[in-house]
Structure 1
Amino acid sequence: MKKSAWLPAVIAPVVVAGAIAAPTLASAANDPIAGTNPTAADVIASVAKSSDAQYSGKLSQTSDLGLPELPAGSGGSSLEGDASDALSLLTSSHTARVYVDGATKQRVQVTQQLAEQDLVRNGSDVWTWDSKAREATHVTLPDHVKESFQDGTMTPADLAKQAIAAIRPSTTISKPTTTSVAGHDAWQLVLTPKSADTLVGSVELAVDKQTGLPLRAAIQADGQSEPAVQVGFTSLDYGAPAARLFDFTPPSGAEVTTKDLSDAADHAGSHRGAHGTGTDDAPTLTGSGWSTIAELPAGTADQGSLGADAQGLLGQLTRSVDGGRAIQTSLVSVYLTDDGRVLAGAVPVSSLVAAAK
């Protein structure tokens, strides 16, 4: 996998946070959360109102999963560059500049070791750019993705009720408390799994009181006092960013890959199938709630095709278990079976091994 493919892993909490719930609710009023004693549903509903937000800011992402810290890039080490870069996202801190102008214009810049990786969305056009590798990818989004941002058939209250109903069977939700993130007053929710079979201890979400924009998310592993993963704004200014920031032209001599998905069918329905059924693009899911396990089919992890350095790295980070090799961090476990399947989840390795049989 190319290094640029890991960029979404760094910036997903940013781009997704403003868009997962809000696009279908663009007609909702953009009033701040009413009153001084909102419910959890009120706070969740306010997130749905933030899709049209315009802002610029700086994000900080930290990870402490109990893995040894590795440098980004091979840097002369024996590690293969792509594997080292991917693992560095799980073992060290990163910062990113974020520019957002509504639901369909975003730019995220991740800078490290005199190199830059960018994700730029402008309407149906999405670009990724890796300055070190001088590689760019251009994707044209399908029509159904664009249309989904214009369907105003739900209200924020409807969405909040559905979200709360989906969460409550497996999760305890705290009453909102007051906090501050990057100089902005926010409501904080704490989601605590009811299941004892998950490695997740709790999730904290901070939401801007005035705009509904998610400002910080922290996942705490069971039994730990510090977040295993946290991403949040360290600075944030509201207002429309310069339009030029959402225009991207690959530099001369760059290697450009083009993917036109504009005519792709809407497979969303097939991805909403029951647990235990998968598609060519989606993993098979078993279990429920915080104990859900995702499985990719045989042939996904062909360990025999790895180079010597990658094989060595795999041997250092994983341990031999029944039927394959596995790694368990404080928050998530991954199991590579001898027949090439990959199972992962916020559960102990023993749960993955049992699910694979």
Structure 2
Amino acid sequence: MKKSAWLPAVIAPVVVAGAVAAPMIANASSDPIAGTNPSAADVIASIAKSSDAKYSGKLEQTSDLGLPELPTGSGGSSLEGDASDALGLLTSSHTARVYVDGADKQRVQLTQQLAEQDVIRNGSEVWTWDSKERTATHVTLPKDAATPDGTTTPSDVAKQAITAITPSTTVSKPKDVRVAGHDAWQITLTPKSSGTLVGTVRLAVDQQTGLPLRATIEAKGQDDPAVQVGFTSLQYGAPAARLFDFTPPSNAKVETKDLSDAAPNANGDGTHRQGERSGDEPTFSGKGWSTIAELPAGTVDRSSLGVDATGLLNQLTKSVDGGRAVQTSLVSVYLTDDGRVLAGAVPVSALVAAAK
């Protein structure tokens, strides 16, 4: 799995919280927010007008969830594989180049140690590329489909967070800030629930365009951000068209997925309509910021893990009633003995209780 595929997991608390909360923006003004004293509703509503924005920029993502340093194997070599990639994202900072030309042309480049990973969308065609593994995936999307999950941007965090406004959240008055050389309005979302690990979510939104420029999530009781993703540079204007074209090298391993003829009972992006389940989607319990997501039995088979993966799992988790669990400063994950996975921005004890 590519590093970019792990990024949505970093903001799981916001995703979970937004799953059942009601939006605030139904009656919000759609006027520009470049003037003085906008309301929080005005700032939030302005995000919608940035969907067709054209820009190039550099993103930086930092994570400090209180996890231990990446463990090393015998001889001092780092543990390799998906678990190593996940830990790398959760314990260190990463940068990415982002190119956007409206709603259906995007490119994200994550570079690290002479390797590059890309997600490129051009209309209905999506490519992912890993230069280190020399692997590419080509996906043909249904018409009007959303881009598959990949790299998280401030817009992603903002859209998920603003659905958790009321009645579970207190919203501050907008504050004037500067991000990547642009004037922005910053609002702070504070959960009302005492049962969540989330302390605050701060969103900085460009005053002229409505584009979210930075998102910061702080854990309860901590001053430093647990997760922050934001632009360090940003230039408006259409990127060069060639950036959205991709041809894999001749020696690359290519996997092809054609989703253009998605089943009529799907939503157009391969997901199912409400009430229709394929059997492997998460179920949810709780509400607001204390929502818990649960994946079904058999999701994780610990008996099939290799020696390295088992050692890493044992180091990161602790034994609890009915399985193993890890609680970071912001999110907890519980692996039950029957292979279920429960996660949420709640203490481990809440996950154990929900699993019974």
Return the TM-score normalized by structure 1: 0.84
Give the corresponding residue for 1:8.
5
1:25 counterpart residue number: none
Give the structure 1 partner of residue 191 of structure 2.
193
2:59 corresponds to which residue? 59
Cα distance in structure 2, aligned partners of 1:72 and 1:263: 45
Residue type matched to 1:90 in 2?
Answer: L
Alignment-derived partner of residue 285 in structure 1: 284
Question: Residue 126 of structure 1 aligns to which amino acid in structure 2?
Answer: V
Q: Give the secondary structure class of the aligned counterpart of 1:143.
A: coil
Q: Which amino acid aligns with 2:220?
A: D
DSSP 3-state at the match of 2:339: coil
- CA 1:142–1:200 in 2, change beyond 3 Å: closer, same or farther? same
Q: Report the aligned-residue RMSD.
A: 2.8
Give unmatched runs, 5+ long, in structure 2: 12-28, 147-158
Q: Which amino acid aligns with 2:107?
A: R
Equivalent residues of 1:217, 1:232 under 8 A apart: yes
Residue 92 of structure 2: aligned partner: 92
Structure 2: how far apart are the matches of 1:13 and 1:76?
27
How many residues are treated as equivalent by the alignment? 323
CA shift in 2, pair 1:104/1:181, >3 Å: same
Cα distance per residue 1:147-204 (max 9 Å; x no partner) = xxxxxxxxxxxxx9xx978621100011111001001000001000000000000000
- Distance in 1, matches of 2:44 and 2:73, equals 38
Distance 2:185 2:319 in 1: 44
> Structure 1 139/164 Cα, relative in aligned 2: closer, same or farther at 3 Å?
closer
Decide whether aligned partners of structure 1 residues 165 and 51 sit closer, same or farther in structure 2, where only a CA change above 3 A counts. closer
* 2:43 and 2:205 in contact (8 A); partners too: yes
Q: Distance in 1 between matches of 2:346 and 2:301?
A: 23
Equivalent position of 1:302 in the other structure: 301
Is 1:333 matched up with 2:341?
no
Q: Residues of 1 paired with 2:284 and 2:72: CA distance?
A: 31
Q: What letter corresponds to residue 315 of structure 2 in structure 1?
A: Q
Q: Specify the alignment match of 1:42 in structure 2.
A: 42
8 A Cα contact 1:188 1:207, kept in partner: yes
- Once the two structures are TM-superposed, the CA of residue 9 in structure 1 deviates from its matched residue by 3.5
The amino acid of 1:242's aligned partner reads: A
What is residue 133 of structure 1 aligned with on the other side? 133
Q: Which residue is equivalent to 1:243?
A: 241
Runs ≥4 residues deviating over 4 A: 11-14, 71-76, 163-166, 268-273
Contact kept? 1:118, 1:128, Cα under 8 Å: yes
Question: By how many angstroms is 1:322 displaced?
Answer: 0.1
Letter in 1 for 2:42: D
- What is residue 355 of structure 2 aligned with on the other side? 356
Look up the equivalent residue of 2:313 and give its one-letter code.
Answer: L
Partner of residue 266, structure 2: 267
TM-score w.r.t. length of structure 2: 0.84
Q: What is the identity, as a one-letter code, of the residue corresponding to 1:190?
A: T
* Structure 1 residues not aligned, in runs of 5+: 15-28, 147-159
TM-aligned CA deviation for residue 81 of structure 1: 2.1
Letter in 1 for 2:5: P
Task: Name 1:204's counterpart in structure 2.
Answer: 202
Shift of residue 11 of structure 1? Answer: 7.7
Distance in 1 (alpha carbons) for counterparts of 2:163 and 2:136 = 42
Change (3 A) 1:354 1:88: same
Report the alpha carbon displacement of residue 32 of structure 1 after superposing the two structures with TM.
3.6
Q: Structure 1 vs Structure 2: percent identity of aligned residues?
A: 76
1:252-311 deviation per Cα after TM superposition (whole angstroms, max 9, x unaligned): 1101111111111353485545xxx96435211111110111110111111111100110
